[in-house]
């Protein structure tokens, strides 16, 4: 296993150089700064894009609300019909049709409605748009915070690689020192074997550290929303983050979070939209004004287009009308009254020609109907308590939205305070760990010299080396704990602090 680890370590640069020659995806720059990563994430992160996609529907919602308030709705329709020949009975009357008919029709109309709901809808739609914009802004700030945290995770993993490389270098020196002392008879084979084990462990630690960098880079590409190159090592992260003494005050940070925290702002906008929805529900108590108007026309043609049939059918209808008129004159009019003009039912040559012409107008030579219009006002009086139920539900949702705002405000205050105190502790820990690092390095130097001159044992050297390694790791962890706390605080207050 040790020989395999050494072979992998020796072949690592060659394999990396070979893979590095492969083309990098054009969407992933080989040098990726933090701002570039954030910009790429705003264009490609799927979760963020889902939030931004909501704005289009919200904008059209505002347009639709105003159009319903000021513009009528227009509709146009057309159709065709067929009726077969035969007879049908209605009560005691029988109606017969000697030929089947086909027809067509059209209708063009517009309508407009004014109610409390249409008056309240623009305000509700604009509140929803503001809530959507606030959600998008909050998602952008949270996305930046997530990218920053993962960027820091990659940098910390790279620091662990540097630490592991230095540890391997020290263990290699200790192995040569133990071998040299063994050759002159000042050390035992136990020291050599212990040095070999320590070097093997350092080689494994270096492999694991390099694997950790790859894993963290893969997670960074996942956050950005882009596929990682086959070898993530071809992408370097050049940004560095300074460690500065925190000078912010908790009062100012809490006030900034109160005004700028993205989640609180989004929840406030949602609460305003919920309150607008409640107002819209209450508008159902107001009357509704409806106005409609339209034009229509039709055509009808007998499928039997024989002129003799058409005229015979029309003359039979005229004769029936004359007979009914004569019957009315003879039986229903009072003596001395002016009789009905039954001759008006008789067909003239012009009317007969018009009948023949009418049968040729199908399908598009419509006979227009008179323009029609109507206006009405309605006021629902009793709706089985439907309106109070809807109003109560809308009010409950508005109250719940306000409670969510308050709950999030309390959580943000806790997050800001926690991050603030975490930064203070992390900054002090950096100083302490720096002192420990220097002391551990001095301890390691002394232990090395003692072992070199034969005054110390190899166990003392290993203990000093382990202490130095732990101190170096603790120093790196303290630095990045500070950076992560600052990033968390920036996300909580909603703005950069450095």
Residue 292 lies in a domain: no
Q: Quick one: pLDDT at residue 336? A: 65
Please write the tens of the pLDDT for every residue from 435-483.
999 999 999 899 888 888 888 888 888 888 889 989 999 999 999 999 9
Whether residue 101 is found in the same domain as residue 166 = no
Whether residue 359 is found in the same domain as residue 343 = yes
Whether residue 127 is found in the same domain as residue 184 = yes
Task: Band the pLDDT of 431: cuts 50, 70, 90.
Answer: very high
Q: What is the largest CA-CA distance in the chain?
A: 158
Residue 72 lies in a domain: no
DSSP string, 404-432: HHHHHHHHHHHHHHHHHHHHHHHHHHHHH
Task: Band the pLDDT of 203: cuts 50, 70, 90.
Answer: very high
Query: Are 267 and 405 a contacting pair, CB within 8 Å?
Result: yes
CA distance 155 to 250: 29
DSSP string, 334-365: PTTSPPP-GGGGSPPHHHHHHHHHHTT-TTT-
Mean pLDDT score of the chain, rounded to an integer?
A: 85
Structure letter (DSSP) for residue 233: G
DSSP string, 365-390: --EEPPPEEEEEEE-----TTHHHHH
Residue 351 lies in a domain: yes
Helices first, then strands: H and E counts in the chain: 11, 7
Please write the tens of the pLDDT for every residue from 128-141.
898 899 899 889 98
Which of 354, 378, 402 finishes a domain? Answer: 378
Residue 8 scores a pLDDT above 70: no
Residue 5 scores a pLDDT above 50: no
Query: Are 493 and 253 a contacting pair, CB within 8 Å?
Result: yes
Closest CA to 32 of 209, 214, 233, 210: 233
Whether residue 261 is found in the same domain as residue 330 = no
Whether residue 177 is found in the same domain as residue 34 = yes
Which of 335, 360, 378 finishes a domain? Answer: 378
Please write the tens of the pLDDT for every residue from 342-351.
877 787 878 7
3-state secondary structure of 88: strand
Whether residue 351 is found in the same domain as residue 467 = no
Residue 100 lies in a domain: yes
Closest CA to 68 of 109, 112, 123: 112
Question: How many structural domains compose the chain?
Answer: 2
Residue 433 scores a pLDDT above 60: yes
Whether residue 61 is found in the same domain as residue 139 = yes
Whether residue 185 is found in the same domain as residue 275 = yes
Q: How many CB atoms lie within 10 A of CB 385?
A: 9
Closest CA to 280 of 406, 398, 135: 398
Residue 33 scores a pLDDT above 90: yes
Which of 314, 345, 378 finishes a domain? Answer: 378
Residue 168 lies in a domain: yes
CA distance 52 to 139: 9
Element (H, E) at 218: helix 189-224
Whether residue 437 is found in the same domain as residue 404 = yes
Q: Can you give the CATH number for the domain in which 433 is found? A: 1.20.1600.10
Element (H, E) at 166: helix 116-183
Whether residue 241 is found in the same domain as residue 366 = no
Residue 166 lies in a domain: yes
3-state secondary structure of 78: strand
Whether residue 429 is found in the same domain as residue 367 = no
Residue 498 lies in a domain: no
pTM of the model: 0.74
Residue 204 scores a pLDDT above 90: yes
Per-residue three-class SS string for 186-209: CCCHHHHHHHHHHHHHHHHHHHHH
CA distance 358 to 92: 31
Q: Quick one: pLDDT at residue 287? A: 87
Task: Band the pLDDT of 123: cuts 50, 70, 90.
Answer: confident
Whether residue 464 is found in the same domain as residue 438 = yes
CA distance 235 to 447: 40
Residue 472 lies in a domain: yes
Task: Band the pLDDT of 24: cuts 50, 70, 90.
Answer: very low
Domain assignment of residue 34, given as a range: 2-67+118-287+385-493
Closest CA to 112 of 376, 374, 295, 291: 291
Q: Which residue has the higher pLDDT, 19 or 33?
A: 33
Long-range contact pairs involving 130-133 (C-beta distance under 8 Å, separation at least 24): 130/269, 130/272, 130/273, 131/58, 131/266, 131/269, 131/270, 131/272, 131/273, 132/54, 132/55, 132/58, 133/55, 133/269
């Amino acid at each position: 296993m040790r020989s395999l680890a050494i072979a992998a370590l020796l072949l690592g640069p060659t394999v990396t150089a070979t893979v590095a020659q492969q083309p990098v995806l054009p969407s992933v720059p080989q040098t990726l700064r933090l701002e570039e990563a954030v910009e790429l994430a705003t264009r490609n992160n799927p979760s963020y894009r889902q939030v931004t996609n909501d704005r289009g529907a919200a904008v059209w919602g505002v347009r639709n609300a105003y159009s319903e308030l000021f513009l009528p709705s227009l509709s146009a329709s057309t159709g065709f019909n067929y009726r077969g020949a035969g007879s049908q009975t209605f009560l005691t009357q029988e109606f017969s049709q000697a030929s089947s008919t086909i027809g067509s029709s059209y209708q063009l109309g517009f309508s407009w409605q004014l109610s409390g709901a249409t008056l309240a809808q623009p305000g509700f739609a604009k509140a929803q748009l503001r809530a959507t914009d606030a959600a998008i802004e909050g998602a952008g700030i949270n996305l930046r915070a997530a990218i920053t945290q993962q960027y820091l995770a990659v940098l910390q993993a790279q620091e662990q690689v540097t630490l592991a490389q230095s540890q391997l270098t020290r263990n290699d020196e200790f192995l040569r020192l133990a071998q040299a002392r063994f050759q002159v008879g000042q050390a035992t084979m136990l020291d050599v074997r212990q040095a070999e084990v320590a070097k093997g462990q350092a080689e494994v630690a270096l492999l694991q550290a390099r694997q950790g960098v790859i894993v963290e880079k893969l997670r960074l590409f996942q956050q950005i929303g882009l596929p990682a190159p086959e070898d993530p090592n071809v992408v370097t992260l050049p940004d560095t983050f300074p460690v500065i003494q925190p000078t912010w005050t908790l009062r100012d940070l809490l006030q900034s979070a109160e005004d700028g925290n993205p989640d609180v702002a989004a929840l406030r906008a949602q609460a305003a939209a919920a309150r607008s929805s409640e107002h819209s529900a209450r508008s159902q108590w107001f009357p509704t004004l409806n106005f409609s108007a339209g034009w229509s026309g039709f055509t009808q043609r007998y499928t039997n287009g024989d002129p003799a049939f058409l005229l015979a059918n029309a003359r039979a209808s005229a004769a029936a009308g004359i007979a009914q008129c004569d019957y009315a004159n003879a039986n229903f009019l009072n003596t001395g009254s002016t009789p009905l003009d039954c001759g008006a039912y008789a067909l003239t040559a012009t009317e007969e020609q018009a009948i023949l012409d009418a049968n040729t107008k199908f399908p598009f030579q419509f006979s227009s109907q008179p323009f029609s219009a109507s206006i009405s006002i309605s006021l629902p009086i009793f709706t089985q308590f439907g309106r109070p139920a809807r109003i109560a539900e809308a009010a409950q949702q508005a109250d719940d939205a306000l409670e969510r705002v308050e709950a999030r405000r309390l959580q943000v205050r806790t997050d800001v305070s926690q991050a603030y105190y975490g930064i203070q502790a992390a900054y002090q820990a950096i100083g302490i760990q720096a002192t420990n690092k220097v002391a551990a390095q001095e301890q390691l130097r002394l232990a090395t010299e003692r072992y070199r001159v034969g005054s110390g044992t190899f166990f003392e050297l290993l203990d000093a080396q382990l202490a130095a390694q732990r101190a170096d790791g603790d120093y790196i962890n303290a630095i990045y704990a500070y950076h992560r706390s600052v990033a968390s605080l920036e996300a909580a207050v909603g703005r950069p602090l450095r």
